[in-house]
């Protein structure tokens, strides 16, 4: 787990440095769909969004997944337990031995990130934002990103096997910032600007 720990420290440090540009919460025209009083998320170095309220989750989820990812040449793998519903988001990470690697909680009023493996000043809002990008209502996400001067798009591709693949993309102008794919119980998140990628694969019951 040494490589995983190194990845985590590099990854969270990069998010922290990005977030330090400002701690002011932006006033938006879509305040009724976003949480207030939380740290804004810098999608680019200058454009930021706020977290959506929990009621805009696109369904309820209560599953174990394998979380595999990489940042540059560093890779990692964890077991994750994710709970998402209209009351909030809860994510727990465990290593191969079942030891607690971290917990993130969001209820629309606060984000709590509790882990001995992460810096205490890590903005957990960034983790919640990626989860919302993958699991929240696409129309509301589109409105939130439009308000920030960004573009959010969703397309659905039908495979020959008859299974659909949902693809979500975030653009800054013509530049692709992040891409989220959901196919066959596997969610893949690629952030091209920050240089990280991870997959969440549902564990068969």
Q: Quick check: 47 and 62 in contact, CB under 8 A?
A: no
187 domain residue, yes or no: no
User: Can you give the pLDDT at residue 153?
Assistant: 97
For residue 31, tell me if it sits in a domain.
Answer: yes
Whether 8 contacts 16, CB under 8 Å: no
pLDDT, tens digit, for every residue of 73-124? 878 888 999 999 999 999 998 988 888 888 999 999 999 888 766 556 667 8
What's the pLDDT at 73?
Answer: 80
Tell me the β-bridge partners of 92: 81, 103
Strand partners, 112: 105
pLDDT at 55: 94
Reported as a single tens digit per residue, the pLDDT across 107-117 is 999 998 887 66
Report which DSSP code applies to 136.
B
For residue 163, being part of any structural domain is answered with no
What is the distance between the alpha carbons of residues 43 and 176, in angstroms, rounded to a whole number? Answer: 11
Question: How far apart (Å, rounded) are the C-alpha atoms in residues 23 and 21?
Answer: 7
Scored b (16 or more CB within 10 A) or e, 145-165 reads: bebbebbbeeeeeeeeeeeee
Say what the pTM is: 0.80
Nearest 5°: CA angle at 117, between 114 and 123? 50
Q: Taking 60 as the threshold, does the pLDDT of residue 13 lie above it?
A: no
Instruction: Examine residue 188 and state whether it is found in any structural domain, yes or no.
Output: no
Distance (Å, rounded) from C-alpha 36 to C-alpha 19? 16
Structural domain containing residue 103: 2-136+197-202
Domain count, the chain: 1
Residue 189 has pLDDT above 50, yes or no: yes
Please report whether residue 115 resides in a domain: yes
- Residue length, the chain? 205
Domain assignment present for 7: yes
120 is a domain residue? yes
Q: Is residue 172 part of a domain?
A: no
How many CA atoms within 13 Å lie on the side-chain side of 120? Answer: 0
pLDDT confidence of residue 64 = 92
Radius of gyration (Cα) for the chain, nearest Å? Answer: 16
- Tokens (6 digits) for 7: 């990845």
């Amino acid at each position: 787990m040494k490589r995983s720990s190194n990845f985590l420290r590099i990854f969270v440090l990069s998010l922290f440095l990005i977030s330090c540009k400002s701690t002011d919460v932006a006033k938006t025209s879509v305040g009724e769909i976003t949480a207030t009083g939380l740290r804004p998320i810098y999608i680019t170095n200058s454009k930021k969004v706020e977290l959506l309220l929990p009621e805009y989750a696109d369904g309820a989820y209560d599953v174990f997944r394998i979380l595999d990812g990489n940042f540059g040449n560093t890779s990692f793998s964890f077991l994750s337990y994710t709970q998402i519903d209209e009351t909030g988001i809860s994510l727990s990470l465990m290593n191969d031995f079942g030891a607690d690697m971290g917990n993130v909680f969001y209820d629309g009023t606060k984000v709590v990130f509790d882990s001995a493996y992460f810096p205490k000043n890590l903005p957990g809002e960034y983790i919640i934002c990626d989860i919302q990008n993958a699991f929240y209502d696409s129309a509301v996400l589109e409105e939130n990103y439009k308000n920030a001067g960004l573009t959010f798009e969703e397309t659905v591709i039908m495979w020959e096997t008859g299974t659909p693949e949902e693809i979500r993309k975030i653009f800054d102008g013509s530049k692709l910032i992040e891409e989220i794919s959901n196919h066959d119980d596997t969610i893949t998140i690629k952030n091209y600007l920050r240089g990280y990628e991870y997959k969440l694969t549902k564990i068969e019951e």
